[in-house]
Amino acid sequence: MTDERTARFEARREQLALMSDDQLKDRFWQMCDAAMAPIVELARTHTSPSIERSVLLRMGIDSISCHGVVDRIQEAGLLGKGAGHVVLRLAEKSGTDVRAAAAAILEQHEVLQGLF
């Protein structure tokens, strides 16, 4: 079994040695996507508003705002993406911090449209 494992390693090593840096980077991200896909699917299908509020609390958003933000995200059909992910994506898009992004979600109904 050790010889078989070594042979498989050497074969993979030879294939990788033939790749350019860009090809190696592409391969890396493909493997990352493949490794994360089951975890992302699990998170998408096994979340709840209380879990998402907990995530937002740990991101530094106050408790009262968390309830409203999660409700808005759920109404927009984005809860499966994760409330923290939605808030972070909005913060990056708007160039603000997560607290300002959460406030924007509460104040502006249209801010979540087209975010993903």
Cβ pair 49, 74 in contact under 8 A:
yes
Q: Which domain holds residue 81?
A: 48-112
Cβ pair 111, 68 in contact under 8 A:
no
Residue 1: what pLDDT?
A: 63
Going by pLDDT thresholds of 50, 70 and 90, the confidence category of residue 44 is: confident
Q: What CA–CA distance (Å, rounded) separates 17 from 28?
A: 14
55 and 36 both lie in a single domain = no
95 and 57 both lie in a single domain = yes
- Rounded mean pLDDT of 75-100? 94
- The rounded percent of the chain whose pLDDT value lies above 90 is 83
Residue 79 has pLDDT above 80, yes or no: yes
80 and 54 both lie in a single domain = yes
Cβ pair 85, 55 in contact under 8 A:
no
Q: What CA–CA distance (Å, rounded) separates 19 from 99?
A: 43
29 and 78 both lie in a single domain = no
The CATH number of whichever domain residue 53 belongs to comes to 1.10.8.1000
Looking at the 3D structure of the chain, how many domains does it have? 2
Q: Quote the pTM value.
A: 0.64
66 and 83 both lie in a single domain = yes
